[in-house]
Amino acid sequence: MKDDSANGHSRSRTLATIFGLSLVVRAAVVVGLFGSLQADPDAYRKLAENVRSQGVYTTTGSPTAFRPPLYPLLLLMTVVDGTVSSAMVAVLHVVLGAGTVLLTFLLAEACGLKRVAYLAAALVAIDPILLNQSALVMTETLATLLAVAGTFALARAAHMPTMSSAGFAGFVIGLAALCRPTFLPWLGIAGVLLSGRKHVTSFNRKPEACASSSSSEARASGLRLNVRFAALYFVVAASVISPWAIRNLVVLGRPKVTTTHGGYTILLGNNPSFYQYLREREPDDTWDATPLANIWRWRHVSNSPQDEMWDLVQLQASKNAWRDLGYDEPIFEASTPIIRSEFEDDAFAYSLARRYITDEPGMFAYACWVRVGRLWQMFPYPRNDSESTARKTLRVLTGCWYTVLFLLAACGAITCRKELLRSPLVWGVVLCFTFTAVHSVYWSNMRMRAPLMPIVCVLASFGMVAIAERLCRRKL
C-alpha cells in the first residue's frame, strides 16, 4: 500500500511538473509575441464579439457559416466589455498549450515510452509552429489539443473497450470536427477501425459465458458488441456536431456540417494563376493570391464557371486586359450583379475549381504533390523580399529544427514499424494520413500541420531512444 501511494504521489508530481513547466514556456512566448494577439486574421475575434453583443454568429451583420464554430465560442470566455481581451486569450492559449504537452506525455506513455515519455512532451513544448500559433487568434492551439486528446481517447477505447470509452472518444473527436472540419475523415475512419477491433467482446461479457458458448455464438455476440461500440461512438460524435448543422439549417437553410469556406480554399490551390506560378517559380518564391482575390469578385456577373472570363483569372483586373478581350470595364459596376447566398458562393467556387482541375489534370496532380510538400516542409518561406537578418536567422533555425525532428521521427517509425498499425500509434498514423490527403487537394501550408506535431514528436522520441540504445551498445 505504501509503495502504491508513493508511486501515485510521484506520478502526480511528475504530471504537475510537466504542466507547470509547459505553462512557463508558453507564457514566455505569448508575452514576447503579445502584439500578435491584437490581430484578427480569420475574424474569430469579431465572431465572438458579435455573438456576445448581438447573439448572432456573424462578421457582417448577416448570419454566416464561413468559419467553424468551436474556437469563436470558446473565445466568448475572453470577451470583456464587449471586446475580446488579448490578455484573456493569452491565458487561454497558454493553458491549452500546456494541456497539449501534458496529454502528449500521457500518449507517449501509452505508446510504450514509459520513463522517457517526457522527451515527447518536451519536443511539443518547444515546437516552433505550436509556439508561434499560440500567439495568434487562430484555431491551431485548440485543434492541436483536441487532436492529441482524440488520439489518446481512441487508444483508451481500443485498450478498454467500454461504452463509456467509445462515447468519450466520439465526444472529443466531434469537438475536433467543430474546431476544424479536416478532422471529419479521421472521425469516420477511426470509427470503422473501432468496429473491427478483435477484443471489443471483453466488455459486458463474463469470461465464463464466453467459454461456455459455441464459437459461432461468440463470433455473433462479438459482432453485435462491435457494432454497438462503433455505433455509440458515431452517435455521440453526431450529437456533438449536429447543433451546428441544425443551426445552419434553421438560420441559413441548409444543414451544413462543415463550413462555407471550403470552396474558396480548394479554388485557392487550383486555379490558372497558381498553376502558372508552379511552372515558373524560383526557389523561395511565394505565390501572391491577390490576382485571384481580385478576379473572384467577378463571380457576381458570371452565370457559369464555363464562362470565358474565368480563363483570365491569372491576369490582373486591369482595364486594358479586359477591354482587349472584349469586355466593357468596369463590368462589375455596369452589370446587374447576380446575388448568391453564402452556400451558393461556396458551390460556385467548388465548380470553378473542378473546371480548372479537369482542364489541367496534370498540373492538378503536380499541385497535389506540391501541397503535400508544403504541409510537411521544413524551412518556412520568406514573407517578403526585404526580410531582416533576425527573421532570416529564425527561419533557418526553424528549418534546421524540423530537419532533425523529421529524421528522428523517421528513425522512430522504422524502429517501431510493427506497432504503427496497432493501437495506440495507429490512431495518430491515421490522423496524419487523413490530414495529408485533405490538404493535398485543398490549400496547404506549414501551420496546417500543427495538430499533427504531437504524433511526430512521439515518433521522434522513439527515434531518440533507438539511437541512444545503439550508442550504448557500441560502447559496451
Backbone angles phi, psi at 471, to 5 degrees: -65, -40
The boundaries of the domain holding residue 470 are 382-476
Distance of CA 254 to the CA centre of its chain: 24
Backbone angles phi, psi at 79, to 5 degrees: -80, 125
Please indicate, yes or no, if residue 16 is contained in any of the structural domains.
yes
Please tell me the distance from the alpha carbon of residue 462 to that of residue 416, in angstroms, as a whole number.
Answer: 8
Average pLDDT for the chain: 87
User: Is 242 in the same domain as 337?
Assistant: no
Please indicate, yes or no, if residue 179 is contained in any of the structural domains.
yes
Q: What is the pLDDT of residue 346?
A: 96
User: Is 284 in the same domain as 238?
Assistant: no
DSSP string, 309-374: GGGGTTS---HHHHHHTT--SSHHHHSPPPP--HHHHHHHHHHHHHHHHHH-HHHHHHHHHHHHHH
Q: What is the pLDDT of residue 287?
A: 86
Interhelix angle 425-441/361-376, nearest 10 degrees:
140
Number of domains in the chain: 4
User: Is 109 in the same domain as 9?
Assistant: yes
Bridge partners (DSSP) of residue 448 are: none
Q: What is the pLDDT of residue 224?
A: 55
Which of 90, 108, 138 is the endpoint of a domain? Answer: 138
Please indicate, yes or no, if residue 67 is contained in any of the structural domains.
no
Please indicate, yes or no, if residue 321 is contained in any of the structural domains.
yes
Please tell me the distance from the alpha carbon of residue 153 to that of residue 233, in angstroms, as a whole number.
Answer: 11
Distance of CA 89 to the CA centre of its chain: 20
Please tell me the distance from the alpha carbon of residue 392 to that of residue 277, in angstroms, as a whole number.
Answer: 23
pLDDT tens for the chain, 476 residues: list them. Answer: 455 565 667 778 888 999 999 999 999 999 999 999 999 999 999 999 999 999 999 998 899 999 999 999 999 999 999 999 999 999 999 999 999 999 999 999 999 998 899 999 999 999 999 999 999 999 999 999 999 999 999 999 988 888 899 999 999 999 999 999 999 999 999 999 988 765 433 333 333 333 333 455 444 444 455 778 889 999 999 999 999 999 999 999 999 999 999 999 999 999 988 998 999 887 677 888 877 887 787 888 888 888 877 876 544 444 455 455 455 444 555 457 788 999 999 999 999 999 999 999 999 999 999 999 999 999 998 877 677 888 889 999 999 999 999 999 999 999 998 889 888 999 999 999 999 999 999 999 999 999 999 999 999 999 999 999 888 887 76
Please indicate, yes or no, if residue 4 is contained in any of the structural domains.
yes
User: Is 301 in the same domain as 325?
Assistant: yes
Please indicate, yes or no, if residue 258 is contained in any of the structural domains.
no
Please indicate, yes or no, if residue 60 is contained in any of the structural domains.
no
User: Is 128 in the same domain as 201?
Assistant: no
Structure letter (DSSP) for residue 63:
B
Please tell me the distance from the alpha carbon of residue 457 to that of residue 119, in angstroms, as a whole number.
Answer: 8
User: Is 216 in the same domain as 311?
Assistant: no
User: Is 294 in the same domain as 223?
Assistant: no
User: Is 127 in the same domain as 182?
Assistant: no
User: Is 98 in the same domain as 166?
Assistant: no
* Helix and strand element counts for the chain (H, E): 21, 2
Q: Is the dihedral of CA 118, 120, 125, 128 positive or negative?
A: positive
User: Is 132 in the same domain as 21?
Assistant: yes
C-alpha cell at 370: 506540391
Amino acid at 83: T
User: Is 2 in the same domain as 134?
Assistant: yes
Please indicate, yes or no, if residue 376 is contained in any of the structural domains.
no
Backbone angles phi, psi at 83, to 5 degrees: -130, 140
**pLDDT for 25-51, tens place per residue?**
999 999 999 999 999 999 999 999 999
User: Is 23 in the same domain as 127?
Assistant: yes
C-alpha cell at 475: 560502447
Q: What is the pLDDT of residue 162?
A: 87
